[in-house]
């Protein structure tokens, strides 16, 4: 067991950690009371870009959890920052994704269009159809940059695992012969943004996630402490085989907090 007495900040994944779609995992108001009463800084960081920050705040309010906008980061914010760095002059984007992604990416100097497109941006799209896949493929084949919020293969629902952005990317990659640039975890940008906002170092930060190859790998690359929860996409035997092992493997976020706030012998 890793030394956890020096943890001052938490970075929490959302899907599979806080909820499965609209079903909360555990008593969320109580969980956030424990976090605040132990003076832990917190940032929610998700690869899921289908909701905007305002929509996440509203979703949290519906669970009686009240956070500030700066306590949430999603991969669409990281993607916007990447696009501004790579294409500082702005331009037209073709987007496969939900309104949350479209709103975030068009906040600055980019517009949605099907003409003169310099980049195809892909996120979770619950209304994906063949026509969108055709259009994106043709644009990428014509030379548009191919970028994505994340490459999660699946995401958890109360019924089980369903296709994630990674499954959409696999289709476009096969059809276009081009690999996407992906900004979401396990790329380090989301965690770096979160720690910068909280003013903490990796050594004093515990990252909690349900997915080994994204949440845990990304955090380990930066030297953060890690907790894998079994309330999402990963089962115990898979978690136990993972090398390097997460610092904590726990049933859910409540159990992680119990481990963290228990007096150390
Ligand atoms: Mg997750």
Beta partners for 120?
94, 146
Tell me how far the alpha carbon of residue 194 lies from the centroid of ligand 1, in angstroms.
16
| Alpha helices (H) in 124-234, listed in sequence order | 130-141, 165-176, 189-198, 217-222
The CATH number of domain 9-47+185-261 is 2.40.50.100: no
**pLDDT digit of tens for each residue in the chain (265 aa)?**
444 678 999 999 999 999 998 999 999 999 999 999 999 999 999 988 878 899 999 999 999 999 999 999 999 999 999 999 999 999 999 999 999 899 999 988 899 999 999 999 999 999 999 999 999 999 999 999 999 999 989 877 888 889 999 999 999 999 999 999 999 999 998 999 999 999 999 999 999 999 999 999 999 999 999 999 999 989 999 999 999 999 999 999 999 999 988 765 4
Check residue 1 and give its pLDDT.
44
Residues within 5 Å of ion ligand 1, judged at the Cβ atom: 13, 15-16, 210
**Cβ–Cβ < 8 Å for 51, 59:** yes
Question: Looking at residue 26, what is its pLDDT?
Answer: 97
Say how many Å lie between the CA of residue 218 and the centre of ligand 1.
13
pTM of the model: 0.84
User: Could you tell me the distance, in angstroms and rounded to a whole number, from the CA of residue 15 to the centre of ligand 1?
Assistant: 4
Question: What CATH number does the domain located at 76-182 have?
Answer: 3.40.50.1000
**232 CA to centre of ligand 1 in angstroms:** 6
User: What is the structure's pLDDT at 265?
Assistant: 45
Going from the Cα of 221 to the center of ligand 1, the distance in angstroms, rounded, reads 18
Q: How far is the CA of 62 from the centre of ligand 1 (A)?
A: 20
How many angstroms does the Cα of residue 196 sit away from the middle of ligand 1? 22
> Would you state the pLDDT for residue 262?
76
Q: Is there a shared CATH topology between the 9-47+185-261 domain and the 76-182 domain? A: yes
| pLDDT confidence of residue 260 | 87
Among 42, 102, 113, 55, which residue's Cα sits nearest to residue 76? 102
Distance 163 CA to ligand 1 centre (A): 13
Residue extents of the structural domains in the chain? 9-47+185-261, 76-182
């Amino acid at each position: 067991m890793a030394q956890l007495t020096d943890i001052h900040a938490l970075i929490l994944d959302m899907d599979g950690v806080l909820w499965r779609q609209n079903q909360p995992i555990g008593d969320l108001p109580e969980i956030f009371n424990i976090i605040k009463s132990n003076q832990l800084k917190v940032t929610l960081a998700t690869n899921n870009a289908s909701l905007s920050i305002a929509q996440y705040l509203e979703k949290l309010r519906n669970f009686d959890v009240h956070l500030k906008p700066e306590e949430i980061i999603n991969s669409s914010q990281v993607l916007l920052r990447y696009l501004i760095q790579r294409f500082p002059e702005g331009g037209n984007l073709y987007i496969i994704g939900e309104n949350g992604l479209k709103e975030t990416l068009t906040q600055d100097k980019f517009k949605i269009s099907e003409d003169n497109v310099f980049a195809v941006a892909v996120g979770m799209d619950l209304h994906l159809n063949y026509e969108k896949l055709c259009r994106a493929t043709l644009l990428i084949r014509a030379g548009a940059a191919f970028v994505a919020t994340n490459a999660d293969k699946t995401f958890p629902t109360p019924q089980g695992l369903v296709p994630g952005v990674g499954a959409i990317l696999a289709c476009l990659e096969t059809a276009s012969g081009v690999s996407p640039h992906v900004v979401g975890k396990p790329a380090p940008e989301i965690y770096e943004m979160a720690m910068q906002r909280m003013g903490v170092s990796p050594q004093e930060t515990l990252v909690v996630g349900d997915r080994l190859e994204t949440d845990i790998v990304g955090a380990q690359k930066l030297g953060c402490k890690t907790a894998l929860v079994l309330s999402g996409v990963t089962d115990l035997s898979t978690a136990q085989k993972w090398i390097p092992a997460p610092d904590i493997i726990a049933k859910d976020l409540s159990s992680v907090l119990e481990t963290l706030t228990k007096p150390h012998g």
